[in-house]
Chain A
């Protein structure tokens, strides 16, 4: 299936831990994104990579570090997790000037 797939779907972890979320797309897109959706359902962009190069880095704590080993993958590593990091994290991809994004199914992160 052609899609954006991210793992894990659910992640429950304790404060202070370090965790990673992986994302892969097989759509041939050249740009990938991470969005955070908070409890009020507001989708906010965090990062964008084009052909492995970071092109957007919104105001995000530096505990969040994206890594793109190739243009089909964009992973998100989070250090020293805090309660406020609890949210759903969506990966998405698009062609740079394409119409619309394709979103992954989301990772629900719960920090306890």
Chain B
């Protein structure tokens, strides 16, 4: 089966740093993705890791350890607009023909002033 775990909710204050963890147990692995979803909107792509290590992209960084089945998303210099759900997703081989993104249940981050 496919299992992706992340905390349900997190809170932080403006200017702070927050780390959202994700652990996964999936049948196959073909990359790990982080998406941001504001309420009532579509998920938008944040980052992609396929090899172990840290990928940095402005205020956002994502880390992957394939041996541990573990990733985190690091958000620095938090802003109010970062209040959103953060979705961890693993791409798995669905069958001979294709792959699919399997999503965790998302972490709702609330940033306060």
Q: How far is the CA of A60 from the CA of B95 in the complex (A)?
A: 17
A45 touches B102 (CB 8 A): yes
Pairwise interchain contact B42-A42, C-beta atoms closer than 8 A: no
Q: Is the interface of B mostly helix, strand, loop or mixed?
A: strand
Q: Which of A12-20, A61-69, A92-100 contacts B (4 or more CB under 8 A)?
A: A92-100
Residues of A within 8 Å of B42, CB to CB, are 90, 103-106
Distance, CA A31 to CA B99, complexed state (A): 10
Which one of B15-23, B43-51, B69-77 contacts A? B43-51
B100-A100 in contact (CB<8A):
no
Which residues of B are found within 8 Å of A75, using beta-carbon distances?
none
Assess the A100–B95 pair: CB atoms within 8 A.
no
User: With A50-B98, A99-B31, A102-B45 given, can you name 6 additional A-B contacts, CB distance below 8 Å?
Assistant: A40-B105, A43-B43, A43-B106, A56-B94, A56-B95, A97-B99
